Amino acid sequence: MVNLAVSLGKLSLKNPVILASGTCGYGREISPYLDLNQMGAITVKGLSYHPFPGNPPPRLREVYAGVLNSIGLENKGVHRFIQEDLPFLSSLDTRLLVNIWGHTEDEFTRVAQELDKVERVDAVEINVSCPNMERGRAVFCSDLEMLKSIVGKVRHVTQKPLIVKLGPEVGEWEKTLDILESEGADILSLTNSFPALFIDVEKEDFFFKRKFAGLSGPAIKPLALKMVYEVVNYTSLPVIGMGGIVSAYDALEFLLVGAKAVALGVANLLDPGLALSVLEGIEKYLQDREIEDLEDLIGKVK
Ligand X SMILES: Cc1cc2nc3c(=O)[nH]c(=O)nc-3n(C[C@H](O)[C@H](O)[C@H](O)COP(=O)(O)O)c2cc1C
Residue nearest to ligand X (CB): 22
Residue of 46, 161, 238, 281 that binds ligand X (CB under 6 A): 46
In this chain, which stretch among 107-115, 170-178, 202-210, 212-220 interacts with ligand X, using CB under 6 A?
A: 212-220
Number of residues forming the site for ligand X (CB under 6 A): 26
As a residue count, the chain comes to 302
Question: How would you label 150-162 residue by residue, b for 16+ Cβ within 10 Å and e otherwise?
Answer: bbeebbebbebbb
Nearer to ligand X, 86 or 246 (CB): 246
Element (H, E) at 175: helix 173-182
CB 245 within 8 A of CB 224: no
8 Å CB contact between 131 and 79: no
Give backbone dihedrals phi and psi of 228, rounded to 5 degrees, phi first: -65, -45
- Is residue 20 near ligand X by the rule CB under 6 A? yes
Judged by beta carbon, residue 63 or residue 301, the one nearer ligand X is 63
Q: Is 230 exposed, middle or buried (0-12, 13-18, 19+ CB in 10 A)?
A: middle
Binding mask 157-196 for ligand X (x = CB under 6 A): --------x--------------------------xx---
Classify residue 214 by its DSSP letter: E
- Active-site residue among 6, 100, 126, 130? 130
Q: Which stretch in 4-12, 197-205, 238-246, 290-298 sits in contact with ligand X by CB under 6 A? A: 238-246
Which window, 18-26, 139-147, 195-203, 233-241, contacts ligand X (CB under 6 A)? 18-26
User: What is the DSSP code string of 16-58?
Assistant: SEEEPTTSSTTSTTTTTTS-GGGSSEEEEEEE-SS-B--PPSP
Terminus-to-terminus CA distance in the chain, angstroms?
27
Q: Decide if residue 142 touches ligand X (CB under 6 A).
A: no
Active site residue 24: no
Residues 77 and 97 sit within 8 Å (Cβ to Cβ) = no
- Please identify which residue in 99, 132, 158, 176 interacts with ligand X, judged by CB under 6 A: 99
Binding pattern for the stretch 55-94 against ligand X, x by CB under 6 A and - elsewhere: ------------x-x-x-x---------------------
Q: Report the distance separating Cα 78 and Cα 94, nearest Å.
A: 20
Q: Closest distance between ligand X and the C-beta of residue 298, in Å?
A: 19
- 18 or 294: CB nearest ligand X: 18
When asked if residue 155 is in the footprint of ligand X (CB under 6 A), the reply is: no
CB of 92 to ligand X, least distance (A): 19
Nearest to 107 by CA among 83, 141, 130, 89: 130
Tell me the β-bridge partners of 166.
190
Instruction: Out of 15, 48, 70, 216, point to the residue binding ligand X (CB under 6 A).
Output: 216
Catalytic machinery residues: 130
What is the binding site for ligand X (CB under 6 A)?
A: 20-23, 45-46, 67, 69, 71, 73, 99, 127, 165, 192-193, 216-217, 220, 242-245, 264-267
